[in-house]
Structure formats: structure tokens, C-alpha cells
Structure 1
Amino acid sequence: MAIPLSGIGFRLLKLFHVWLVVMTLLNVGTLSTATTTSSFVGSKTDRLALLAFKSKITHDPQGVVSSWNNSHHFCEWQGVTCGHRHRRVTVINLSSRGIVGSLSPSIGNLSFLHEFNLNNNTFQGEIPTELGNNKLVGKFPKELTSLSKLTYLVIQANNLTGGISSFIGNLTSLEVISAAKNPFGGSIPDTLGQLKNLRQLGLGGNQLSGMIPSSIYNLSFITVFSVASNQLRGSLPSSFGFKFHHLQLLQLQMNQFTGPLPLSISNFSELEQIQVEYNSFNGKITNNFGNLKKLKKIGLFRNNFGSGEPDELAFLGSLANCSNLMLLGMEVNRFRGVLPASVGNLSSHLFSFIFGRNQIYGTIPSTIGNLVNLTVLSMGNNQLTGTIATNIGNLQKLQRLSFAINHLSGKIPDSMGNLSLLNELYMANNRLEGTIPSSLGNCQNLLSLRLDQNNLSGTIPRELLRVSSLSISLNLARNHLFGSLSTEVGNLKNLGELDISEDRLSGEIPSSLGSCSSLESLYLQENSFQGSIPLQLESLRGIQNIDLSQNNLSGKIPTFLEKFSLMNLNLSFNDFEGDLPMRGVFTNASAISIAGNYRLCGGILELHLPRCTPKKSKPKMPLSHIIAITTASVLVGVTMVSFSIICWFKKRRKTQSTVSSSKESFWKVSYGNLLKATDGFSKANLIGFGSSGSVYKGLLDHDGELVVAIKVLNLQNRGATKSFLAECETLRNIRHRNLVKIITSCSSVDFQGNEFKALVYEFMPNGNLERWLHSSPEINNEQNELQRLNLLQRINIAIDVAYALDYLHHHCQTPIIHCDLKPSNILLDNDMVAHIGDFGLAKFCSEFIIPNQSSSIGVRGTIGYAAPEYGLGSEMSTYGDVYSYGILLLEMITGKRPTDSMFEEGLNIHSFAKMALPQRMMEIVDPVFLNNEKEEERAIEMAAATATNKTWEPIQVNNGDKMVECLISMVKIGVACSIDSPQDRMSSSSILHELHLVKHKLLQKRISD
């Protein structure tokens, strides 16, 4: 936020003269290998920036800037100093020149500037955001006391120390103090209570300790009171709710507060958010929240709330009057008692109801089925009993449902198949019985399903094994399931973990399990599987944990297991025989277990197996015995010859078939295969190209014809081989429904002997997002009609990409930074589901990276999308991906590329969008939204009807108003993701939360109409 300077002149820059030296926006590094071209471009940039600064000067009594003209090089202009070697502007010193005017944002383009002194002049207006990304150090200067008319003090996200100075209490005109994320230390000064005009107080993340001074409670105009993420202690006074009459936002989370929640909080009639999570508040909550009509969010989790009284959840009934309530978080407390039926009367806007890890008992009230807009319902880790009501199927917007670790019994309702949007379903550690309903096969968005440790019986439904979206875990362990594992399991190509251990399954391990190429963990132990380990499992190249122990498996241990990077391999208590392999995991005695296989031999010494010895030939018989046996065998032999020959031929054909099958299980492609698949890499099959290479559509012969996308790398491009290896390594370690799937790769030579490298991907019929956002001249009019994405489609694509980023940053074994997020790398499948592709620049994040940590690596990414800190030499980080995502989101809403020609002289897509919030929003959005209102209405109505199982009918609505709120929300998210300060950008989880809110609002608005 810029600091308004209107009415106070520019005396404040006396302060900035001391601190602007360390602005991170300004590059103070040296230019060691600059070329003539880059020097020329940089010099031109500096000159234009100075002229833009000059254009904002309205009065120049000493003629300083009026002398800035073409008669001299800008390094010779008054007040300007350049570096001797690179001839770039390093200092601007115009102190005490009597200059009047305002600041141009173009000063932010002076990338070598390290001192900017405008002391004792008369500048007005705002400090541009381009100059506001500071890393100020030191203490509060006493000179601030002269700013008697200062109304806004915004200094968040700097490195200020030495405590919050008490003299701030003398700045009695202050209305806003935003000082979050500074390591001040010390306590909150009592003198802040003198700021009677203060409306917003933001002191989060300041390392503050001690108690809140009682004088603070005299600030009756306060609307925002935020002291989160400190070490503050003490309890809130009982009169707390009578102090801040206009309070809207209360943030006390992540401190050391104790005591009860004051009853008087119920008097905050304007309150919208209560956040007291991560403290030690305790006692029974007896508040009547009925007066808080505007309340949207209550965060109580991770405290010690609860008294052990059976009625301590009665306060939930009063929340029925909070018609705007959207989130209620109560998990990790000591709440006891029965969940009241009144929860069914909670707000129709409630989308998140979380109260896991408490001591709540009794049954789940059937009225919970009334909360039809819930997207998250978490009830795990309690003491709930009884059955799951069938009306759970009414909650058709649920994406996460947890009943895990309770005492629930009865059957899993068939109606759960209605929850088609579910991503995560957890019902492990209960007493559920009966069969797994086949209706779960309707949940085609499931990423993770856990039904382990119940009393389920019957077979594993084939329909469940057809849910190809399962990518995190399918866990059915420790039940009473029987029968064989269907070959349908091969549909789970994206699955990371399969656990069906400790059941009663039998039959052979299906060879189709080899199609689950994303498996990392396979647990089949303690069943009755028989036969040998299928050779087709050789294709599980990413597998890390295998447990096949305590079955009836036999045959030899296949040598392909040597090739896997296994962390654990348990083959114990089966009937394997023969030589134990000697490479790979078999060289690590602590990583494998082969106990109870008494016919194994060999192996490393630490396994203590007997040595393998060749079979000894039997001693020769006397000639008389041989003659007698031969004579007696002739007749039998003659009659058996035909039978033996037939058996021999059958056995040979079976062996050949097995060998052939094993060879096919590992799919290799050659240059010739790809040449044929693309019709000689013809232009007709070219679907994309760039500096890294060209992408062709191809048709490969592999168990039938398979349409694929083939990326042929341009090996003349510097770093192409490194990019190839990086992409192979990255895609080998990840799997998610919103990431492009690699099928195979080719590293060979072409028919002229030149090096050839290519990657083969799953083909995406709808191309990339770039094509859908920006029509190309060569696309004819009929195709241009297809280049229109409605608002709902754009929201869904944004959510898909956010899910993929969240997975890469937080759910991979080693976090991954994509480094090149942009529309051309977002691919759309047949159902318009988005997939992130092109991992040629991706980087594994092996340890925590400080976003401003310097790096010698060149800038990764694409101009316009790459985070600004990368240009200053900062290390790649997840914050950089979030910045790129923010730019992508703004591009999706405005329809403008970040490199559009309109963005110059300090204007960029971030500031362009930010300036339009909120009144001028419809002036900047993609004209598609304005030109196709009827199509937008129809899309929204149909989606809303689908969400409520209602027949769509056209209705009259207020055009122009229906989308504005959602567009504003999306632009706010894009702006929050693309701010300059890395630590202040939104997290991927927050992005998902906010986007689901937007989608919910869009559909719910139409439903309510």
C-alpha cells in the first residue's frame, strides 16, 4: 500500500534518504559481463525513466531538471550520478532544490539506483508501489513526530527492529497503522491508546510479547484489530465486547492467550471474522452469537476449549442466526458432548465445517444433510457412534469428507455415490460393515479413498477400480474382503499408493497391475495370493515400497526388482525358490526381508542364506539294469510319445507367450517409431513450437493405436539436454490428475546420425490455454468461435492449476518448483480439465529456500510471468510459482498478456488490475464477458442446475450484476498472488480456498435467484 503524502509536503523523504539505500527493488549488484547491447538498452531505460520523472515536476525554481535534455548525457545531468563502468544511474540527489510535483513510477525502472534523496522539497500524492517494496532496517526515527497530519502509516514486511516506539502515540491524526511482518520485538506501547482516530491496527508477525495494554481498549473506532503471530499472553477482559463498537475483523491467532472467550464478544454486531486459533484459550463457550448477523468466519481450532459438560456444544444453536456464516473451524480442542440437531439450521452459505480431533460423542445428526453447500466436512478423531444417515448424499458439493477414527457402525450408504465432486473420502478406523457400495464408482473426482480398519466384507467392486482419478491413495486394508483382485485395477494408472493388506483376498496378482505406472507403494501382505510375481510389474519404475509378505506366492524372485529404487521390499513367508538377486535393493540387508522362504539360496552374506550349488548328476547304472529298464519302458514310451510331444509344444508356446509378454511390458520407442507416428514430423501434425523444441501429434502402435503428443527437443538450443533430463526426472517423481502425464521418452540418433531426444505425452485434444485466451490470425472465423471461455470454465481451470501447484509445492516427497507457469504450458483435455505441462525448467526444492536468497543461476521462466525477485538474483522458490499463477489469473480475466504493448512506463498487468478494483472492474475485463452475457448466463444456470439436480430453465436475471462480484474476487486473488514482496503472496491452499468461494458464490447466486 502506498503512503499518502497529501498535505504534508515531502518532509517524509528525510526519513527515506536513510532507508531507501536498502530497497530490494533496486539492484545494487555489479555488471561484470554486460555486453554492449545490454548496456545500450539499460542506458536507454535509465534515460526514459529520468525524463518520466521530469515530466511530473510542476515547479523547478533552480532550473535543475529543466536542464535535463539531449545536449548532455544523462550521467552529466544535475543531481544524477552514474557508475564509472556500467554508466547506469546509481544516485539521484535533489535535496533542498525547492522542487514541486509528484513521483513517477518509472523511477522503479532504475535498476542500479541505490540512493534516492528528495529531502526538503514539496512532493505530493502517493509513493508509487514500484518504490514501495522496501526492506527497511533500523528503528523508528524520531523525525516522524513532526508529521502531525499523518493519517496512514504503512510499513509492513520490512526488517525494522528495536520495538514499536512510544512516540507514535503523538501522531494523533493516524487512522491506519499497518506494521505487520517486522521483527520489532518488545511490547505494544501503552501510548497507542492515545490514537483516538485509529480505525485499523495491524501488528501481526512483529515478535511482540507481553500483554495487550488496557489503553488499547479505549480505541472505540477500531474496525480491524490484528495482532496475530506474536508471543502475546494474558486473557481478554470480560468487558472486551463493549470496547470496540465497530469491530469487523478480530485476529488473535498464533499467540499465547489464555482464559475463556468473553461473553461480551456477542456485542460486536459488525463483526465478520473471529480468529483465535493456535492459542491456549479454554473453558466452556457459552456465547450467544445470534447478534452477529454479519459473521462469516469463526476460527477456534487448536485451543483448549471445553469443560467436559454434556451441553457445551449448545452454543452452535445460536449460530443459526448468522446467515452469512461460511466457515466454522473447531478442530483440536477438548469439546465434549453430543452434536446438537440444530447444526442443520446453520447458514446456507456454510462451506466448511471442521470439528475433528475433539471428544464429541453420540450420533451424527441427520440434519447435517441440510447443509447442502458444504465443500468440507471433517468429523474425524472423535467418539461418534451410530450409523451414517443416507441423506449424506444430499451434500453433493462436498470435496472433502472425513469420518475417520470414530466408532461408527452399519453400512456405507449407497447415497455416497451421489457425492460426485469428492476429492478425499476418509472413513478409516471405524466399525463399518457390509460391502463397499459399487456406487462409489460414480465419484469420478476421487483422489484419495481410505476405508481401512473396518469390518467390511465382500469383494472389491469393479466400479471402484474404474475411478481413474485416484492418484493419492486407495486403502482398503484390515477388513474382511475376499475374492480376487480384478484386472480392472489396471485402470488406476495415476495411483500412488495401493494398500489391500490384511484382508482375505486370493487368486493371482493380476498382470494388469503393471499398468499402474505411478505406484510408489504397493501393500498386498497377509492375504492368500498365489502364483508368481507377474513380469508385467517391471513397468512400475517409480515404485519405492513393496510388501508381498505372508501370502502363498511361489516361483523365482524376478531380477527386474534389482532395477527399482526401492526403500523397502518385503517378500517374507511365501514359497519363493532359487537364486536371490544380488543387485539393487538386494545389496541392502536392512531394506529387504525374505524370511520364511526356505527354498531360496545365495544373496549377500548378511542374509545368511545357503549357497546355491548346481545339482549333482546321478551315478551311472550297470548295463544290465539299463537294458532291463529300457525294455520295460519301450511299450510305455511308445504310448506316451505323442502325449509328451503335445505337452512339449504347449509348454513351449506358453513360455514364448510369457517372454513376449514380459518384453511388451516395458515400452520402448525408437526414432523410427516416432518418425512413422508423425508422418515424418510433417507440418500437418505440428501442434506447437518454441525455443525448447516442437510438439507433434502422433499415432503410435501400442496395444492398438494410441494418440500421443511428441515433444522433439531442439538440441541446438543451449541447455536442451539439461531440460530433457530435468523433465524426465521431474515427471518420473510426480503424479496428479492436473499434471500432464508422460508416457515414455526417446534418447537416440536420427537416420543421419544426429543426436535425437523426445518426450511422449498423453495427448490433450483441446490444446493449450494460450489458444483459448488469445485468438491467432491464422485461425479461421469458425475456429475463433471456439476461442471463448466462459467465466465458470475459467474458474474451473484456475482451480485445476491451483490444485497442481499445491501438489507440487506441498505433497510431493521433495517439493518441486515449476519455474515456467504460463498459458501455453496449461493443457486442456477432452473435458476441459487443465493439466500443467513442460517441466523443462522445473527444480527440486531439497531444502527450505529463503525467497530473497541470492543465486548464481540465470533467470528461469518467461518475461512477464517470472517473479521480479528472480531478476535480482534471488533463488527460485514456490513464491515465484505463485507470482506466475497470479499473472496467469489476471490474464485469464483481462484477456491481456503481461507483455501487451499497453504495459509500459511503469504500468504492468498487476497495477492495471489493482487500479480498477473495485468500481472500474468491468472496464478491464476480457470483452468476451461483455459481448456474450447470454452465453455466460446459460453456462452458469446449467452448472447451477447440475449442482442441485434441477432441470435447467431460462429465467430473467439482472444482467451485468451477476458476474461482477466474482470477477472482482478473482482479480483480488490475482493481485494478491503477484505482489512484489514474495512472503506476502498468497499460499496455494489459500488460493484454493478463495477460488472455491468464488465458484460457490457464482453457482449459489444463481440457485438462490
Structure 2
Amino acid sequence: MLQGGIPNNLSNCSELRSILLDQNELVGRIPVELISLSKLVSLNLGRNNLMGNIPPPLGNLSSLVSLYLHYDSFEGSIPDELGQLAKLQNLETYSNKLSANLGLTLPNLKYLYLSENAFTGLIPVSLPNASRLAVISFANNNFSGPMPGNFGRLQDINILFGVGGGDNDLSFLTSLTNCSHLEGLYLYSNRLSGQIPSSIGNITRLVKLYLDGNCLQGSIPLSLGNCRHLETLVLSRNKLNGTIPKEILSFHSLVTLNIDQNSLVGSLPPDVGKLELLQYLFASHNKLMGEIPREINNCLSLEVLNLSNNLFQGAIPLSLSNFKGIKLLDLSHNNLSGHIPEALQKFPFLEYLDLSSNDLEGQIVFKNSSKFSILGNKKLCGGIPQFWLPVCPKNAPKKDGMSISLKVIISIVGAVLGLILLSFLFATVFWVRRKASTRLLPAFFLEGQFLNVSYADLFKATGGFSLDNLIGVGSYGSVYKGLLDHDQTCVAVKVFNLQEHGASRSFMVECEALRNIRHRNLVKIISACSSIDFKGNDFKALEFEYMPNGSLEKWLHPSVHWNQELWSWNLIQRLDIAIDVASALEYLHHHCQISVIHRDLKPSNVLLDDDMCAHVGDFGLARFLSNAATNTSQDQTTFTTQAYPFNPCI
């Protein structure tokens, strides 16, 4: 991993054709000396921490084919007078100078990546002068104003990522109908507004179309049916209304269809059965109604089907049993009724099935509670104990003329089998409890004040342990922000990476340390979870009270983009934090039933709440001092070896 600045003496390599310095920790500015590298073909400085002014003469690198300036910290706007190169302020200015004068100074440029920076201003109308451009990426910047309408001049363009900032609608797509090679439009999260124009259907070679995360309104245009090569169509997280046109279900090559989180109404057309290659279908959080069409069983390649949070009614189609490769099936929060097809409970590759909040009835035979969710179906019965469902009622005996002797024989046989089964059940329970006791799991879970949460609860609360919710990474695992469903409690979920040596022991130590300690300056534990994940792997996690102001480490050593309010702290505020930490340590050392030594106290383990009150956390390396150890000044790690009445999460 390279650090520091880009050396000026690179310019001595006059024959240099490629500079590939991406994915490092480079800082500072781009050296002006690079302008002497007249044979340079590729300049890749992406994924660093570069910023500042960019030497304007770099625009004279006429051999340049690839320019990657993405995922850095460049900013600035495009100058009004593109010829006044001496007034360029920063990389964005340079990048857009390239855009504006590209056809003259950079005639060979094909790949232009400016995404994930802080560029501002307008995207120049002269950008299409670079007629050989094949890939352009503007995504996730702060451009303003409308997108230029002359992109049709880019005859070789193949992929377009992002279109900049606000005040944009999709009218510029009309010009793209002349781009005969355009296959990928990635216009997600661009604050686009208005309706999707019907002219989009004229871009007939489209393979991937992403319009998600915008403010698009109106209906889905029927003209999209002209895009016969579409493999991915993502329109989620908009304000689209109307019905699902059957025209978009005629793409025989479609693999992914995502129309989540809109206001679509009507039924799911039976034409969905024509999508024989479809693997991912997301249509949740709409207002779709009617029955789930039986024709969907023709989608034999489906791996994910999410129709949750709609108004679907009727029975679950038996035809869904044809989905032998299904991994995730979510039909929750609808008005489905009737029995659960037994075949749904036996999919070989199923990782998760959610049928909660419907009106389903009858007996269930699910064997693994971590793979299934059936909450909110009041008419279900039976199943394993973890579902907490009532016992199914016995059917009234039929008057079939059965002889008394036969009834007696059947009763005796049934009683014997019942005794055998009961004995086996008791043996199994005894074995499980004995095994649980040997794992030395902590004892506080059944004290009545800790929540009993499942892996599925934590999976849902953290958005599937999404990177968007990742708030920290440590030696033995990662910490995610989550929102528990049952009471909307905001928690920090510490998930242990059990592949790391010592992670399981760290989990045990932290549980033991947190079992009996209570103090205003210690991080409050909400619950703990020791179970298996959807893939059958061991899973261990702790849930703590969420600290919105993060760690002291981030305040002492803020990142470049972070709000550095620390510098406005006065002496009293700083002393308050020091006193909070000292109070926590004084409690741990002198006022616990068994004294605790933290052994890993550092700024990253001091967390700050809404009132900037400090809380000490992370007891994974703690040691406990017994009375004997205290008297002899020798510390030792101790665990209670009794069989705790531990109830693992399910």
C-alpha cells in the first residue's frame, strides 16, 4: 500500500506509457512535471486521497486513452472560458477541460472516470467533442444544471455512469437514440425527476438499465418493450405508478427485474412466465393485488423472488414448488390465505423463506426455524417448539365401523411409539443442554432484562449486514448499526468473525465481563446471540446501545471529510470525557463483585452518546480478579463452569 505524494521525478521516464497508482493511500497534488510524458496512454489515480489543483497543461497529453480520477477528493467547477487554462482550479476543472476540449487535445480518450468525488458546476456541452469516448462515469458528484442534450454525437459510447446533480430530467435520453453501441445506462441515485420518456425505447441495444433511487414519476413506458436485449432492468425506489406493462415482460434475455418501492398497482401479469431466464424478481413495497399468477412457475431459473408488502391475496400457488434453485422467497405482508404448500418447506438450496403477516392456516412441518419466518399468521399450528405455535386440533373420529379390538391395537401401538418418541425427545434435550453447558456460555440471558433476538432479527435490523450500516471493524469482527423491529430500538451489533483465532474466546470474555457490571459510563448491553446463520455456520454477536457520536478516536483523529467539531471543545468538555472514563475504570477496579481489568483501553473503545457522555466498551481482552488473586496481586482469567440455564437465540 503506497503512501505519501506522487514523486515529481516520474517525469524523467520519458518513454512511460502507463501510470497505474490506483487503490493506494496517496495524498497531495498531481505533479505538474507529468506534462512531459507525451507518450502516456493510461493515467489511473483512482481510489486514493488526492486533492487540490491539477496542472492545466496535462490536457496536452494527446496520446491519453484512459483517465481514471474516481474515488478521490477532487472538487471544483468547470470554467466558463475553456481556453483560459491558466485559471483552472482543480481536477474537476481539468477533467472537464478534458471534457470541453477533448476532441482537440485528447482525441484518443476512450475511458473517462470522474465518479465519487465532489465536483460541482455544469457538465460541458462540448464533452461530445471527444467522439471516441466509450465509457463515461460521473456518478456521485455534485454537478448542477441539466445534462447536455448532444450526447448523440458519441457514436462509440458503450456505458454511461451517472449524469450529475439536480435540475435533471430524462429528456436528454432522446439524443442517445443515435448512440448505436450504447449497452449500459447506470443512472441510479442522480436526483432525476419527471417521467421516463418513451424515446428510451429507441435505444434498442440496451443490455443494462439502472434508473433506481431517483424521483421519477408517471408510468413505465410501453416502448421499453423495444429493448429486446435487456438483461437487467432496475426501476426501484422511485415514485412510479400505474400498472406493470406486459411489454417489459417480453424480454427473453431478462435476468434481473427490480421494481421495488414504487406505487405500482394492478396485478402481476401472467406474462411474467415468459421470462425463462429470470433469476431475480423484486416487486416489494408496491400496491400490487390479485393472485400470484400460476404462470410464474415457468421461471425455472429464479433464485430470489420478493413480492412482500403488497396486497396479494388467494392461496400460495402450488406451482412455486418448481423453483428447485430458489434461495430467497419473501411473500410476507400480503393477504395470502390457505395452506402452505409442503414443497415450499423442502427446497434444497433455500436460505430464507418469509411468509409472515399473512392469513395462512394449517399445520407446518418446517424443521429449521432460522430459515423461515411465519410470524403474524394466527391460524397456523404445529411445527417445532421454537415457532411457539399452538398444537393442531385433532380431527373428530369418523364412524367407519372400526372394530373395538382394532382400535385397542392401534391405541397400544400408538402409545408404545409415543413412549419411544418421548424418550428420544428427553434424551435429545438432555444432550443439547449438556452440550450447551460445556460451551461455558454466559448466564445472564434469562434474567428477564435482556432481549431474546434471533439471527433473522439481526439480519433484518442491519439490512443483511449491509456495508451501508457498517460503523466499525475490529480485530475479531465488525460492528453494524441496526434497528430492531419489535420496539424500533437503535442498536450497535458486534458480529464476531469466528474464523479469526481467539474470536470465540473474546465473545465469552466479553459476555462474562458484561454479565453483572452496570455503570453510567460503561456501554450498555442490550442482548447477545449465539446461533447459526442462514448457511448453517456458527454465529455470535452482541447488541449494545447505539452511540450516535461514535468513538473518541474519530474525534481525536478526524478523517478529511469528517466534521471536526472537536476543535471547538473547551477545557471543561475535555475534562468531562476524561472524568467519565476514569469513573468507569474506578468502578471496574473497586466496585464490581469480581474486579475487572479492561486491558484494551484506547480512544476507539470509548464511545460518545447524544450528550457527549463517554462510555467504555469492548471487554474482549478483559481479565477478572478473584478475591484470592487480589490478595496475592496475581490476576487470572476465570469463568464460571456451572451449567448456565442459557437459551441461545433462534
TM bracket, shorter-chain basis: 0.5 to 0.7
- In 2, are the aligned partners of 1:190 and 1:216 still within 8 Å (CA)? no
Match of 2:139 among 277, 280, 285: 277
The residue aligned with 2:297 is 441
Q: Determine if contact 2:73/2:117 at 8 Å carries over to the other structure.
A: no
CA distances 1:514-543 after superposition (whole Å, capped 9, x unpaired): 3xx6x73422122233443258xxxxxxxx
Aligned match for 2:279, one of 420, 423, 448: 423
Structure 1 CA distance, aligned partners of 2:304 and 2:142? 33
Amino acid at match of 2:113: Q
CA distance in 2, matches of 1:211, 1:376: 34
2:339 alignment partner, one of 460, 475, 484:
484
Unaligned runs of 5+ in 1: 1-134, 221-230, 536-545, 556-574, 576-641, 669-732, 734-806, 816-841, 849-1009
Q: CA deviation at 1:464?
A: 0.6
Residue type of the partner of 1:351? V
Partner of 1:150: 15
Q: In the alignment, is the contact (CA less than 8 A) between 2:59 and 2:97 conserved in 1? A: no
Aligned to 1:18: none
**How far did 1:381 drift?**
1.4
Q: Do the aligned partners of residues 361 and 238 (structure 1) sit closer, same or farther apart at CA in structure 2, a change above 3 Å counting?
A: farther
Equivalent residue for 2:241?
A: 385
For the residues of structure 2 that align with 1:294 and 1:505, how far apart are their CA atoms?
54
Instruction: Give 2:372's aligned residue.
Output: 522
Q: Does 1:187 find its partner at 2:55? A: no
2:263 to 407, 411, 425: 407
Aligned residues of 2:243 and 2:267 also touching (Cα < 8 A): yes
Task: Please state whether the residue corresponding to 1:263 is helix, strand or coil.
Answer: coil
Q: Does residue 330 of structure 2 align to residue 475 of structure 1?
A: yes
2:85 is the alignment partner of 1:325? no
Partner of 1:896: none
Q: Which amino acid aligns with 1:306?
A: D
Q: Which amino acid aligns with 2:220?
A: I
Distance 1:236 1:195, change over 3 A: closer
**Which of residues 106, 119, 127 is equivalent to 1:257?**
119
Offset at residue 351 of structure 1 (A): 1.2
* 1:494 match: secondary structure: coil
User: Structure 1 residues 377 and 146, CA, compared in 2 at 3 Å: closer, same or farther?
Assistant: closer
Query: How do 1:522-671 residues align onto structure 2 when only pairs under 5 Å count?
Result: 522-534=372-384, 553-554=390-391, 647-655=407-415
For the residues of structure 2 that align with 1:194 and 1:238, how far apart are their CA atoms?
A: 7
Q: 1:344 to 1:243 in 2, by over 3 A?
A: closer
For residue 152 of structure 2, what is the aligned residue in structure 1?
Answer: 290
> What is the CA deviation profile of residues 46-102 of structure 1, one whole-angstrom value per residue up to 9, with x for unaligned ones?
xxxxxxxxxxxxxxxxxxxxxxxxxxxxxxxxxxxxxxxxxxxxxxxxxxxxxxxxx
Task: Give SS of 2:144's match.
Answer: strand
Give 3-state SS (helix, strand or coil) of 2:132's partner.
Answer: coil
C-alpha deviations, 1:931-986, integer Å up to 9, x for none?
A: xxxxxxxxxxxxxxxxxxxxxxxxxxxxxxxxxxxxxxxxxxxxxxxxxxxxxxxx
Distance in 1 (CA, whole Å) between partners of 2:405 and 2:61 is: 104
**Deviation of the 1:360 alpha carbon:** 1.4
SS of residue paired to 1:463: helix
- Rate the CA distance shift 1:554–1:280 in 2: closer, same or farther, 3 A: same
* Structure 2 contact 68–112 (Cα < 8 Å) conserved: no
Whether the aligned pair in 2 keeps the contact of 1:338 and 1:362 (CA below 8 Å) is yes
Note closer, same or farther for the CA distance 1:232–1:256 as it changes in structure 2 (3 Å cut): farther
1:422–1:306 CA distance, 2 compared to 1 (3 A): farther
Q: Is 1:461 equivalent to 2:317 in the alignment?
A: yes
State how far apart, in whole Å, the 1-side matches of 2:21 and 2:28 are: 15
Q: In structure 1, give the amino acid aligned to 2:215.
A: Q
Task: Tell me the distance in 2 between the aligned counterparts of 1:847 and 1:283.
Answer: 54
Structure 1 residue 340 displacement after superposition: 1.8
SS of 2:301 mapped into structure 1? coil
| 2:231 alignment counterpart | 375
Does the 8 A contact of 2:308 with 2:330 survive in 1? yes
> Counterpart of 1:496 in structure 2: which amino acid?
E
How far did residue 201 of structure 1 move? 6.4
Whole-angstrom CA distance in 2 between matches of 1:383 and 1:402? 14
Show the counterpart of 2:167: 306
Tell me: CA distance 1:655–1:297, structure 2 relative to 1, closer, same or farther (3 Å): farther
Distance 2:189 2:47 in 1: 29
Distance of aligned partners of 1:488 and 1:453 in 2 relative to their CA distance in 1, 3 Å threshold: same
Deviation at 1:338? 1.7
Distance 2:296 2:170 in 1: 33
1:501 and 2:356 equivalent?
Answer: yes
Is the counterpart of residue 204 in structure 1 residue 69 in structure 2?
A: yes
1:323 to partner: Cα distance: 1.2
Taking structure 1 as reference, are residues 189 and 332 closer, same or farther at Cα in structure 2, changes over 3 Å only? Answer: closer
- Indicate if the aligned counterparts of 1:174 and 1:195 stay in contact, CA closer than 8 A: no
Q: Structure 1 residues 846 and 467, CA, compared in 2 at 3 Å: closer, same or farther? A: farther
Structure showing greater radius of gyration is 1
Task: Indicate how the Cα distance of structure 1 residues 497 and 306 shifts in structure 2: closer, same or farther if over 3 A, else same.
Answer: farther
Residues 186/488 of structure 1: CA separation in 2 closer, same or farther (3 Å cut): closer
SS at match of 2:321: helix
Assess, with a 3 A threshold, how the Cα gap between structure 1 residues 809 and 468 changes in structure 2: closer, same or farther.
farther
Deviation string, structure 1 residues 628-669 (Cα, Å, up to 9, x no partner): xxxxxxxxxxxxxx987655543443455567789999xx9x
After superposition, the Cα gap between the structure-2 partners of 1:424 and 1:208, relative to the gap in structure 1 and judged at 3 Å, is closer
Rounded to whole Å, the distance in 2 between the matches of 1:194 and 1:381 is 39
Q: Is the 8 A contact 1:172 1:197 kept in 2?
A: no
1:165 aligns with 2:31: yes
SS of the equivalent of 1:254 reads coil
Cα distance in 2 for residues equivalent to 1:359 and 1:172:
45
| Alignment partners' CA distance in 2, 1:362 and 1:215 | 36
In 2, Cα distance between equivalents of 1:398 and 1:194: 41
Where do 1:761-776 residues align within 5 Å? Answer: none
Aligned length: 428
RCO comparison, higher one (Cα < 8 Å, 6+) = 2
Which amino acid in 2 is paired with 1:252? L
After superposition, the Cα gap between the structure-2 partners of 1:194 and 1:265, relative to the gap in structure 1 and judged at 3 Å, is: closer
Q: Please give the secondary structure, in 2, of the residue aligned with 1:507.
A: strand
The answer as to whether partners of 2:75 and 2:119 remain within 8 angstroms in 1 is no
Distance 1:166 1:215, change over 3 A: farther
User: Is 1:250–1:273's contact at 8 Å kept on the other side of the alignment?
Assistant: yes
Contact 2:260 2:286 in 1 (8 A): yes
TM-score, L = length of structure 1: 0.38
CA distance in 2, matches of 1:644, 1:481: 43
Deviation at 1:400, TM superposition (A): 1.0
Q: Does 1:241 align with 2:1?
A: no
Q: Percent identity?
A: 24
Partner in structure 1 of residue 583 of structure 2: none
Counterpart of 1:319 in 2: which secondary structure? Answer: helix
Query: What secondary structure does 1:508 align onto?
Result: strand
Which residue, 199, 204, 207 being the options, matches 1:342? 199
- Is the contact between residue 392 and residue 416 of structure 1 (CA under 8 Å) also seen in structure 2? no
Aligned partner letter, 2:166: F
Structure 1 counterpart of 2:129, which letter?
N
Instruction: Measure, in 2, the Cα distance between the counterparts of 1:662 and 1:409.
Output: 51
CA distance in 1, matches of 2:216, 2:371: 34
Amino acid at match of 2:383: I
Aligned-pair CA distance for 1:456: 1.2
Does the 8 A contact of 2:134 with 2:157 survive in 1?
yes
Q: Deviations over 1:28-61 (max 9, x none)?
A: xxxxxxxxxxxxxxxxxxxxxxxxxxxxxxxxxx
Change (3 A) 1:360 1:659: farther
Relative to 1, partners in 2 of residues 1:268 and 1:528: Cα closer, same or farther, differing over 3 Å? same
Shift, 1:179, TM fit: 5.2
Name the CA distance, whole Å, in 2 between partners of 1:346 and 1:846. 54
RMSD: 4.5
Task: Give the letter aligned to residue 332 of structure 1.
Answer: S
Where does 1:62-77 land on structure 2 (aligned, <5 Å)?
none
Is contact 1:432–1:456 with CA below 8 Å preserved after alignment?
yes
Paired residue type of 1:257:
F
Preserved contact between residue 193 and residue 215 of structure 2 (Cα < 8 Å): yes
C-alpha distance in 1 between matches for 2:97 and 2:5: 35
